Each structure stands twice: as structure tokens, then as C-alpha cells.
Structure 1
Amino acid sequence: MTPSLLFTIVASGFIYGITPGPGVLAVFGIGAARGRRAGAGFLCGHLLGDVVWCGTALAAIVGAREIGSTAFDALGVLSGLYLFWLGLRAVRARAGSADAPQGPARQPFWHGVIFGLTNPKAYPVAVATFTALLSSRAELLHWSMLPWLIALSFLGGLVAYAILIGVVGASRIRTLYQRHELTITRLCGVMFIGFAINALWHAVPGLLTSRT
């Protein structure tokens, strides 16, 4: 495993974990109501869902790569289009259109477990994000690397969640986030569009070449 691939996997897990979405909104809602400890408990439970969905996504990506470049390129095109759609929605978001933060939970850890495992957006977002960032290094992916890929993505997500826990515990930063939530969401939308362009840039030429 090359250093660049290692860094890309860790960065993918980090970006997946820290990008604003239902989980981030939920932890801010719980943290605002019950404090840092409850928010940390929720995120610790949520990590289980991240491992399941990121592991499944990475298995699908490696499987597509092993089947052949055409399958991986097709997955790259679908992922790019999905990320572009998500990014466009985020850029066009308006105040009050985002999912409302979750209220207090009696058992934050188990709430995080259930929330992470049942989030319908988790798997497609994981596939799209990892595919977009790994598309330029597809030739390096093999089944023997899957445990390391999952472990490194988990490490990236762990770093992201550590930052979120720190933010939830700091009232000024939490207030700043909530005040500028729409701007942050739109900036993340621009980032998703950038990932989408990167995925399409690497996938479309290969797909067209295979058809000719």
C-alpha cells in the first residue's frame, strides 16, 4: 500500500465522518441539550454504523475493480452523478430546509447505534465518496487490502468524530456552527461537486474506451 493510497483512505473516512449530514446534525442537537458526554456517547454508537456501511462500500468498490475496469468505471460514473446531485442540493439549500437536529436521547450510545445502522443515506454516500476519491488509484485496490482499507477509513472517521466532540463541547464554536450552518452546508455542497467532477473525470474516459 503506497503512502498516497494510505492517506487517501484515511482522508476519505475523515471526510465521510465530518461532512454535515443527519448524523452531524443529530450530535449537535444532543450536545446542545445534554452536553459533550452525551454527544460523545452518540458518536461512539454511530461509529458502528460507519464501520458497517464504509466496509460494505469498500467491498463493493474493490469487487467492482476485481470484476474489471468497466464495472469500476460504471460505478464511478454513478457515484459522480450522485455526488453532483447531493452537492447541487446542498448549494441550493435554504434556511429551514435541512433535517432538524435531533433532540435529547435517554441513551445516547444506543441511539447512535440505531441511527448509524438505519440511516438510508449512509451506504450510497459512502460508496460515492470513496469511489470519487479512489478513482485515480483504482489499479492498486485488491481483496487482500480490504481489512486495511476498512481499518484506515475507521481511523479517519475516528479523527473526524474527535473533532466533532470537541466542537460540541465548546459553546462558542457550537453557536458559530449553528449560526452559519447554511453557509457550511453550501460549502460542503461545492466540495461534493468537486468530488463528483473528479470521479467523472477518471471514470467517463475509461467507460467510453471500453465501449469502443
Structure 2
Amino acid sequence: MTPSLLLAVLASGFIYGITPGPGVLAVFGIGAAHGRRAGAGFLCGHLLGDVIWCSTALVAIVGAREIGSTAFDVLGVLSAVYLFWLGWRAVRAQRRQGDEAQGAARQPFWHGIVFGLTNPKAYPVAVATFTALLSSRAELLNWSMLPALIALSFVGGAVAYAILIGVVGAQRVRTVYQRHELLITRLCGVMFIGFAINALVHALPGLIPNKA
């Protein structure tokens, strides 16, 4: 495994874990209501769902690569379209009317497990994020790498969650996040659009017939 592929998988797991979404919003709500320990318990449970969805995504990506470059390129285009749609929605997001109350979790760890396993966006976001960042190194992927890829994505996600746990209990961080939530969401949307463009740049040439 080359250093660039290693970093790409680590970055994929990290970005998937730390990018604002239902899980990140939930942990900020739980942390605000019950403190850092409850937020940490929720994230530890949520990490199980992340591992399962990221592993499934990596199996699909490696499988598409092993089937043939065309299948991987098609997956790349579909992922790019989905990421662009998510990014465009985030860029056009409007401020929510009123605060959406976050339910207090009596057992944050088990709440995190259920939340992580039942999030309908988890798998497509994982596939789209990993495909976008790994598309330029697709030729390096094979089944023998799968355990290492899963382990690296877990490390990246764990680092992201460690950062979230560190900041979720800080009053200043919660205040800044709540004050600038719309801006943060839109910036993440721009990042998703950038990933989508990157995926298209690497996938489209393989689908365009070469008439030379």
C-alpha cells in the first residue's frame, strides 16, 4: 500500500466521521444537554455503525474495481452526482426556524449504536466519500487490501470522533457552532461539491469512448 493510498483512506474515514450530518448534530445536542461523557458514549456506539457502513462501502468499491474499470467508473459518476446533490442542498440550506430539541439519551452508548445502524444516509455517503477520494488510486485496490482499508478507515473515523469528543463539552465551541451552524453547513457543501468534481474528473475519461 502506497503512502498516498494510506493517507487517502485515512482522510476518507476522518472526513466521513467529522463532516456535519445527523450524527454530528445529535452529539452536539446530547453534549449540550448531558455533557461530554454522554456525548462520548453516543459516539462510541455510533462508531459501530460507521465501521459496518464504511466496510460495506469499501467492499462495494473494491468489488467494482475487481469487476472492471468500467464498473468502478460508473460507481464514481453515481457517487459524484450524489455528493454534488448533497453539497448543493447544503450550500442552499436555510436557517432552521427555532431549535430542534434533541432527545435526552438515558443510555447514550446504545442510542448511538441504534442511531448509527439505522441512519439511511450512512451507506450512500460512505460510498460516495470513499469513491471520490480513492478514484485516483483505483488501480491499486484489490481484495487482499480490504482488511487494511477497513482498519485505516476506522482509525480515521476514530480520530475524527476523538476531536468531536474533545470539543463537544466546551461551552464556547457549542456557542460558536450554534451561531455559525449555517455557515459551517454551507462550507461543508462546497467541500462535497469539490469531491464530486474530483470524482467526475477521474471517472468520466474511462467512460468516454476513445476514437483514436
Question: What's the TM-score, normalizing by structure 1?
Answer: 0.97
Answer whether contact 1:50 1:116 (CA < 8 A) is retained: yes
RMSD: 1.7
- Give the Å deviation of 1:99: 9.8
Please name the residue that 1:171 is paired with: 171
1: distance between equivalents of 2:122 and 2:111? 16
Match of 2:202 in 1: 202
| Aligned residue type for 1:63 | G
Shift of 1:174: 1.2
Change (3 A) 1:89 1:43: same
Going from structure 1 to structure 2, the CA distance change for 1:119 and 1:97 (only over 3 Å counts) comes to farther
Q: Residue 181 in 1 paired to residue 187 in 2?
A: no
Q: Equivalent residue for 2:17?
A: 17
1:157 match:
157
1:104 CA displacement = 1.3
**One-letter amino acid of the structure 2 residue matched with residue 48 of structure 1:** L
**Residue 129 in 1 paired to residue 132 in 2?**
no
Within-5 A mapping of 1:1-212 = 1-96=1-96, 100=100, 102-209=102-209
- Match of 2:137, as an amino acid? R
For residue 97 of structure 1, report the CA deviation from its aligned partner: 7.3
C-alpha separation in 2, matches of 1:98 and 1:195: 31
Displacement of 1:209 after TM fit? 3.0
Paired residue type of 1:51: V
After superposing the two structures, state which structure 1 stretch, 95-104 or 24-33, moved more: 95-104
1:108-156 deviation per Cα after TM superposition (whole angstroms, max 9, x unaligned)? 0000000000000000000000000000000000000000000000000
In the aligned structure 2, how far is the partner of 1:74 from the partner of 1:177?
37
CA distance in 2 between counterparts of 1:183 and 1:41 reads 28
Query: Which sections of structure 2, spanning at least 5 residues, go unmatched?
Result: none
Distance between the aligned counterparts of 1:99 and 1:209, measured in 2? 51
Structure 1 contact 45–113 (Cα < 8 Å) conserved = yes
Give the Å deviation of 1:207. Answer: 1.0
Q: Mark the CA change 1:194 to 1:66 in structure 2 (over 3 Å): closer, same or farther.
A: same
* Conserved 8 A contact 1:22-1:99: no
Q: Output the CA distance in 1 between the equivalents of 2:98 and 2:70.
A: 36
Q: Work out the CA distance in 1 between the residues paired with 2:5 and 2:185.
A: 28
Alpha-carbon distance change, 104 to 65 in structure 1, aligned in 2, over 3 angstroms:
same
CA distance in 1, matches of 2:99, 2:120: 14
Gap change, CA 1:186 and 1:141, over 3 Å in 2: same
What do residues 66-124 of structure 1 show as CA deviations (whole Å, max 9, x unaligned)? 00000000000000000000000000000017994632100000000000000000000
Q: Which amino acid aligns with 1:151?
A: A
Structure 1 unaligned segments of length 5 or more: list them: none
Q: Distance in 2 between matches of 1:204 and 1:98?
A: 43
**Contact 1:26/1:101 (8 A) holds in 2:** no
Percent of aligned positions with the same letter in both sequences?
83
Count residues in correspondence.
Answer: 212
